Structure 1
Amino acid sequence: MERFVRIASPDGTANLIVAEGVRAVDAAGNPLAAVTLEPLSPVDVPPVPGVGAYAFAGYACIAGPEGAAFSPPVILSFNFTEEQWDAVYNDSGQNGLLVQWYNRSADAWEEVPTTVHPETRSVEAVVLHFSQYALFVEVPGGGAAQVVAADAPPQSETEQGSPYAHLIPVLLALIVVGVGVFLYFHKENP
């Protein structure tokens, strides 16, 4: 894009913010000629399979053309009136709002990086490509299940292990390297 662009959905709830210098291409790799952003009726939103930690909040949009990609990413924001915000934000437990995109090939909703801005009554998501996007709220009660990547099988508590378990191999590698460096320099200086 040669300049900053803000595209609003007809109902004003969703906005797409494209910064200057963003490379925008269609599914075939050609520069984008046009962009659409339409609200999606809740009845047209694909279902959320099973019971999870998040539930559909009633707000969704479809950004097109589907398959368009951006480098660097663009921002999709959901903006609310005071009444809408009070309903969505209070239902979320005041910190459990999340934007997800619908992956048709996996038939699943997948998380995108999301930032909640209570001061402006908005939720922003980092978007790499166009698709269907929806706002979800955290289900009260500690989340009976986790939202997981579509290709990752659910894990039981025993399979998950410690949240720091991935650091153990890294720390061991650092210790081995440190000992090796020590021995190398110690050999040269008797």
Structure 2
Amino acid sequence: HNVTLKLEGYKDSTKQVTIEANETAILDFVLAEIVDTHTPYTPSGGGGSGPTYTSYTGTGTLTVGSSNIALRSIKVNAEDKAGSLFVQIGTKVLDKDGNPLTSITLTPLASDDMPAVPSGALFKFAGYVYEAGPDGATFEPGITLAFDLPADAWNALDPDNNDFKVKWYNEETEEWEDVPTTTYKSTRSVDAEITHFSIFALFTEPVTTPTETPTPPVDIDIPTTPPVDEKPPAGEFPTTIFAIVVVLVIVIAAGYFFIVRK
């Protein structure tokens, strides 16, 4: 009988054994680890040692475990050297039928081949569009689609007055839809987190400055105190009493004058 031992990450090992009924045998297998012929790289900019990944151009090979989990990190660079895909070790990778995903591709498209941008849209095509395949592949958590732009292209897109947006094309709705995007101006790069494969493109949108709504003035009613009759200073003869006395004197004098004449 031929007995073959299969173990993830190792080449199959086969032994031949002859046994009789009800007998047992002990086999000694020598396993050879599968060695990738590509050169692993360490991501730059992180400082110190970090997790390594294997770099490809155009098409990358995934090593997937029994739970559809990527057993190592890979990076797939597009032929134009601007776009790239990064799959982190530990990511669940499936094809459109829910089977393990064994390879991925990133292909630049000509602007004439990309779905049209609707007229009147605020966003404008920034010159980079890719088809990530196979179509329908899914990732959990999301993987990184990166755009690393040369200085002349970056400056031509006026990053001081424009925001960068990555969008994917939804064939069912025939619309471009937003993808979570992060811009790194210091390295002239834009990263997007994607959870499935489709057509992706880089766009710009004018920077919007929020306008402050002026606060209407608030009328404050200040209660007015009714005037208080002033009290005459102490020692001053009241004017009203003085007038009454004068009138009485005049009346008495007139009466006396009338009696005397009579």
Question: TM-score, normalization: structure 2?
Answer: 0.51
5+ long unaligned stretches in structure 1 = 144-190
Equivalent residues in 2 for 1:16-35, closer than 5 Å: 16-35=85-104
Larger RCO (CA under 8 A, 6+ residues apart): 1
Alignment of 1:133 with 2:192, yes or no, is no
Q: Is the 8 A contact 1:93 1:138 kept in 2?
A: no
1:94-138 deviation per Cα after TM superposition (whole angstroms, max 9, x unaligned): 451100000001101000000001111110001000000000111
Alignment of 1:115 with 2:154, yes or no, is no
Residue in structure 1 matched with residue 166 of structure 2 by the alignment: 99
Higher alpha-carbon Rg: 2
Counterpart AA for 1:20? I
5+ long unaligned stretches in structure 2 = 1-69, 210-262
Separation in 1, partners of 2:115, 2:139: 24
Residue in structure 2 matched with residue 47 of structure 1 by the alignment: 116
Residue in structure 2 matched with residue 9 of structure 1 by the alignment: 78
Q: Is the 8 A contact 1:55 1:139 kept in 2?
A: no
1:56-108 deviation per Cα after TM superposition (whole angstroms, max 9, x unaligned): 111110100011000000000011111111112x1x54451100000001101
> RMSD of the alignment, in Å?
1.6
How many pairs are equivalent? 140
Separation in 2, partners of 1:94, 1:117: 15
Equivalent residues in 2 for 1:145-160, closer than 5 Å: none
Change (3 A) 1:139 1:95: closer
Separation in 2, partners of 1:71, 1:82: 33
Question: TM-score, normalization: structure 1?
Answer: 0.70
